[in-house]
Amino acid sequence: MCRFIILMHSFQEIIQKSLERSERAYAALYKYSFQTMMRITRRYCNNNDDAVDLANQTFIKVLNNLAQYQIKESYEAWLKRITVNTCIDAYRKNKRYRSRVASGDDMPTAVFESKATDYNAGFEKLTADDIYKLIDELPDKCREVFNLFAIDGYNHSEIAQLLDMTETTSRWYLHKARGILQQKINYYHNSTVSHETTE
């Protein structure tokens, strides 16, 4: 952690000095925020450079909106909300992704009413890094919807508004993402069992 943070009496002082446009406070707040921002942006990007770029964009928004931050609110929760919104804004500006949105309206209703994917014993053997790697390998649209729904806690109505799609489309991409993850988890599990058997 930045030495400047240690020298300051409290996190509130970092916020106050940042509001006073202290460059040292900016640096301290950035270091304090970086891991949280990267943990989120990395889930929405499939390469580290783009994730860092989104983290930097997020921090600019943090500084621009810092006066609106209420000390009584969790800074991490506030930061997470801004970071997710930054990722979604970047996504929505990317016409290449927007042009690939399927309507999903012609999909059978039964597809969306099926039970959540049963992640078998193979899932229990995966580390957090393994899981994030599998999510990272999902197609772009599936990854966006899965992250928003399964990890960030948005519902399909909110996702539909954020990604400019219908709720049916959001449900279809979530279903597709779960199916792909199930296949990958099964493959991982079977490969592990096969390796253990041959030893």
pLDDT digits (tens, 9 = 90+) for 51-89: 999 999 999 999 999 998 877 778 999 999 999 999 988
Q: Running DSSP on this structure, what letter comes out for residue 151?
A: I
Angle between helices 23-44 and 128-136 (to 10 degrees): 70
Query: How far apart are alpha carbons 41 and 88 in whole angstroms?
Result: 10
| pTM (2 d.p.) | 0.66
What six digits make up the tokens of 11? 């996190």
Q: Each residue of 28-58: pLDDT tens digit?
A: 999 999 999 999 999 888 788 999 999 999 9
Helices (H) and strands (E) in the chain, counts: 12, 0
Beta strand residue intervals within the chain, DSSP E: none
Please give the full DSSP string across 24-63, using - where no structure is assigned: HHHHHHHHHHHHHHHHHHHHH-SSHHHHHHHHHHHHHHHH
Instruction: Determine the Cα–Cα distance for residues 66 and 73; give it in Å rounded to an integer.
Output: 12
Condensed to tens digits (0 to 9), the pLDDT of residues 110-158 reads 444 444 444 444 555 667 677 778 888 898 889 999 999 988 889 999 9
Spell out the domains of the chain, with CATH numbers in brackets: 3-93 (1.10.1740.10), 98-198 (no CATH)
